Amino acid sequence: MMVTDLISALVLVLSARCASGSYPRAQNVTWKSTNFKTILSWEPKPSPDFSYTVEFSAVGGNKQSSLHCLRSSATVCDLSGSLTELDAYYTAEVLSEPPLGATSDLVEFPYTSAPRFCPYKDTEIGRPNFKLEVSDDKKKTTLYVADPATALYKDGRQLNIRDVFSDQLQYRVTYRKNKSTGKKVYNYKTNIIELLDLDRGVSYCFNVQAYLPDRAADKQLGELSHTQCTKDHNQSIFEVYSVGVIASAIFLILLLIGIIIAVTYICCKRHKNSQGREKEGMPLRDV
């Protein structure tokens, strides 16, 4: 009986020891980066019994820890300002550790590694803004494209994607005639894009996106811009305004005409009645 009790007590002690030093590994560790705003994220949300620490390094370099991601209860870590070598490949590990202020007898904590990530080759490029301008003679349409800003700074100045990619950056312009499905696609190396082969007076719709031809095929194109269209100077009234607007305008015009007719009729009738009363009040002339 004593031996059985001793074994049971030993099992309980070992179980308690394992439970106190065991922390669940992070799952679904992924990079999300747009315009060099680079976030490492993972699951699940930790309980009060453990926390997460992020370590990262350039391939072949020394591991570093992010000061904002030490013994944290968050499941994201912003590494935008830490990945300073933009063309290097980075690895990252999410360690499961005791919460801040707590200790553990574990020498190595369980961790999960993120896939390799290269800011220069893997960050997504956000949608650009652009302005449309049509010349007075309608012969030239010009697009002025603004380079999207990044999360990077140099000498106190925020960098845009042109500052980073330089001559590698191009813009892909997709355009079509308004209300048409056919489209044309061209790449341009400048931010000022002039189109001279468009039909005069016809409305065209445009989209712009960054294009980086030196990247892998699935990383070459940035996010598509919002669509902008030029005015159609040959549009009929039915193309400019909806049927409801036209019907409302016709109704208002007819109502106004009706009011004018009614007022005119009432005024004429009152005038005639007034003349009749004046005649009745006049004395008869001697014949």
- pLDDT at residue 277 in the model: 62
List the one residue out of 212, 213, 203, 208 whose CA is nearest residue 226: 208
Q: Which part of the chain is CATH 2.60.40.10?
A: 2-122, 129-240
Interval 200-208 mean pLDDT: 94
One-letter identity of residue 172? R
pLDDT digits (tens, 9 = 90+) for 11-63: 333 333 333 457 899 999 999 999 999 999 999 999 999 999 999 999 989 99
pLDDT digits (tens, 9 = 90+) for 81-137: 999 999 999 999 999 999 887 877 777 899 999 999 999 999 999 999 999 999 998
Q: Which two tokens stand for residue 166?
A: 């330089």
CATH for 129-240? Answer: 2.60.40.10
Distance CA 119, CA 37 (A): 9
User: Would you give the end-to-end CA distance of the chain in angstroms?
Assistant: 155
Say if residues 119 and 83 touch (Cβ distance below 8 Å): yes
Supply φ then ψ for residue 278, to 5 degrees: -65, -40
Model confidence, pTM:
0.72
CATH for 2-122? Answer: 2.60.40.10
